[in-house]
Amino acid sequence: MPNILKIYCDGACSGNPGKGGWGAILIWKETTKEISGFEENTTNNRMELTAAIEALKAIKRNVKVEVYTDSKYLCNGITNWIQKWKKNNWCSKNKLIKNVDLWQDLELLSSNLNVSWHWIRGHNGDVHNEKADKLATTAIKYGK
């Protein structure tokens, strides 16, 4: 089996905007690490991005990384839209894109790693995606 670090990440929001949580699961060989966090006032999309950013920050070695997300916003943004945004000074339709701070962080982190991005259908029985969702919603529930 190749040495691939798999990441499953998810974000959630109670109200949009509202209280938000993010969760990520990092799987390396036989080791699993779970991370999560909370923000008092945020959006669902910001939490999706934050989950991916925090997961990439947690990587301690240079390995091949596969990120799985149920957010089309995150997956399309990082794989398709980002090059055009960068070319246009982070603008779309002559306006600064939403969440530009997070997109810039994500782009910087992922540019220094060998990352492939994968969209998966949410709430469809994938055990790791469901766990990432649970981490995000639990972060909202307990405010941490």
- pLDDT tens digits, one per residue of 40-90: 999 999 999 999 999 999 998 889 999 999 999 999 999 999 999 999 999
Q: Is the pTM of this model over 0.85?
A: yes
Ramachandran area for residue 104 (φ above 0: left; ψ -120 to 50: alpha; else beta): alpha
In the numeric block, which tokens belong to residue 46? Answer: 């910001």
- pLDDT tens track for 119-132: 999 888 899 999 99
CA distances to 21, 63, 66, 74, 123 from 142, in Å: 10, 33, 29, 25, 22
Catalytic site positions:
10-11, 48, 70, 123, 133
Rounded Cα gap, residues 118 and 58, in angstroms: 19
**135: CB partners within 8 A, 6+ apart:** 10, 21, 22, 23, 24, 25, 34, 35, 36
Query: What percentage of the chain exceeds 70 in pLDDT?
Result: 99
